[in-house]
Each structure stands twice: as C-alpha cells, then as structure tokens.
Amino acid sequence: MQLDKAIQSRRSIRKYKSRTPSWKKIIEAIDAARYAPMAGNNFTLKFIFIDDDETIKEMGKWTSQEFVSTAKSAVVFISNPSRLTNAYGKKNGEVFCRQQAGAGIQNFLLKLEEYRLATCWVGLFNENKIKHLLGIPEDHQIEAIFPIGKSNETPGKRNVRDLNSFLYFNEYGKDRMKTISKPEGRYPEGY
C-alpha cells in the first residue's frame, strides 16, 4: 500500500469481525513504532500485546467503551518518561515522551492500515484499573489502548477540512506566502 493511500484511508473502526487477526501482523505493526523519532535516541515506549478474551473484556469495562470488549486482540502503548526527564528536565522530558509516543503510534496505525487491520485509538480509560489489570509499574504511563480486528463496518465519508483554513506562513494568521502588491497600471493574478 502506498503511504498517501494509507494516510488517507486510515479510519477509526469500532466494529470487528469475530475472526482473530494475525498476531504476526500486529507484532510487525508494533515493530514499526520503533522507527519513530526519539528524543536523544532514548526509546521510552513499551507495548503489551493482549489476545486473552477475558483480559480484553475487563479492559473494555475500564475504558467505558463497549466496542473495546469485542476485539480479539489489543495493544497497549506504555511509556516510561524517567530517562527523558533525567536528560531534559521534568517538563521537557514529559513533553518529549508524549511527542515520541504519538510518532510511534502513527507508525503503528499506518502499518495496521497496510495490513487491512482495523483499530480505534482509545485515550479515555481508568489508568489505575488498567495498570493493575496488566501489572504495569506505577511510574509508567499508559499512552493509549488499541483494540484490533478485521473491520465489520463501512465508515462514512470523512470530513476533511480545507488546508487553507489552518495553514499560515511565517506567522500566525498570515495566509499567504507573499504579500501581493498592485504593480503600477495592472492587477496581478489573485489581487
């Protein structure tokens, strides 16, 4: 699959077929997260692959989103910001940790899309309950939960905003690369 096609076709899917997805493809998607940019080459991400039905159902309960419980597999992204906070200070280290988690997650999502596996980025959950359920250390943070399966829905048309509504040049609010001035005696294109 071409990168542009993967970016444009990737969607949040909340209905999954009962068929179990290939664990090998999910592991390969997790592996793609390793190639995301990392501050100071400090890799802070950890992953938990889950294919136990009872654990997934319990996780679904703590996300308050029923569709999580219907997935046959799930991946939890975890980060430990300590290496980055030691290197860059608390504030910067925590920001860098979240940024590189987002970059790794994007690689993961695009690889799942390439394999035609469906997921939805879940960021609303009871972190303490999920940590307890999965044995995650207290000093680690859960970045996101991804239920994974084969899609059992056809998503509606995506509403993509026009790029010009949020792209600025050289300063906030400036919507043109160059100011067009009226030359003597004629009007330039776009004036």
Show Cβ contacts of residue 50 under 8 Å, excluding neighbours closer than 6 positions: 56, 59, 73, 74, 75, 76, 134
Other C-beta atoms lying within 10 Å of the C-beta of residue 48 = 17
Determine contact, residues 45/101, Cβ cutoff 8 Å: yes
For residue 181, the model assigns a pLDDT of: 65
Q: Sheet with 141-149: list strands edge to edge.
A: 45-50, 73-79, 141-149, 118-119
For residue 182, the model assigns a pLDDT of: 62
**What is the tens place of the pLDDT at every residue in 165-174?**
888 888 898 8
Q: Which residues pair with 137 in a beta bridge?
A: none
How many Cα atoms sit within 13 Å of 75 on the Cβ side?
A: 27
Determine contact, residues 130/159, Cβ cutoff 8 Å: no
Report phi then psi at 129, rounded to 5. -65, -40
Residue with tokens 């695009």: 110
Low-confidence ranges of the chain (pLDDT < 70): 1, 179-191
For residue 20, the model assigns a pLDDT of: 93
Domain 3-155 has CATH 3.40.109.10: yes
**Domain segments of the chain: what residues?**
3-155
- Sign of the CA dihedral running 103, 144, 25, 111: negative
Separation between Cα atoms, residue 1 and residue 80, nearest integer Å? 33
Separation between Cα atoms, residue 146 and residue 21, nearest integer Å? 13
To the question of pTM greater than 0.85 for the whole model, the response is yes
